[in-house]
Amino acid sequence: MKTSTFRPLALGVAVLAVTALLLGRAQAGDDDFYPPVTDRLTQQECGSCHLAFPPSMLPAASWKRMMSELESHFGDDASVDADTTAAITRYLVDNAGDAPGHASKLLRGLRTGDAPLRITELPKWVREHREVPKSDWMHQDVGSKANCAACHVDAAEGYFEDD
């Protein structure tokens, strides 16, 4: 085969392979994909201490509750000024799992009106993680159930499928 014919063919095969990989991932990971935080302020403030969790992982009532209790945020004072609190709350509520146009699979089994603060206490989360041994949660590289990125390497991009 001539080199001039081989290069376009190789490039075409490479493009098809990447496309198939991306489309396959999007389809396979559909049930485990939660759009990541795209708001700069939310990413900056929340992401400075932990993974900025996708807003669709909790209902609006949870985000409102969480943002109103920042002085006692899981044992830490995560307080920010009123304008920042309002802007982040607005972003989280607008993109919550029960917001119009957002049907979060993670909220399945949650009663209407419930406002849990921990994603790890949602019925679907508990079901999907029930087979993880307790010792895995205690591992020094994991530290807690809230450290999604310890097991889900693409969590920051919104992918939470089993790796």
Consecutive sets of 10 residues in the chain, 163 residues long: mean pLDDT of each? 55 48 44 93 96 97 97 95 98 96 89 93 93 92 92 94 71
Q: What is the pLDDT of residue 15?
A: 47
Cβ atoms of 54 and 34 closer than 8 Å: yes
CA atoms of 124 and 138, how far apart (whole Å): 21
Q: What is the pLDDT of residue 11?
A: 52
Residue 36 has what DSSP assignment?
Answer: P
Q: What is the pLDDT of residue 102?
A: 85
CA atoms of 43 and 45, how far apart (whole Å): 6
Q: What is the pLDDT of residue 69?
A: 96
Q: Which residues of 125-134 are buried (b: 16+ CB within 10 A; e: fewer)?
A: beeeeeeeee
Residue 67 has which token pair?
Answer: 């943002």
**What does the radius of gyration of the chain's CA atoms come to, in whole angstroms?**
20
Cβ atoms of 84 and 70 closer than 8 Å: no
Cβ atoms of 96 and 56 closer than 8 Å: yes
Q: What is the pLDDT of residue 20?
A: 44
Q: Which of 76, 75, 60 is nearest to 116 (CA)?
A: 60
Q: What is the pLDDT of residue 81?
A: 97
Q: Which of 108, 94, 114, 91 is nearest to 31 (CA)?
A: 108
- pTM of the shown model: 0.79
Q: What is the pLDDT of residue 9?
A: 57
CA atoms of 39 and 37, how far apart (whole Å): 6
Q: What is the pLDDT of residue 161?
A: 85
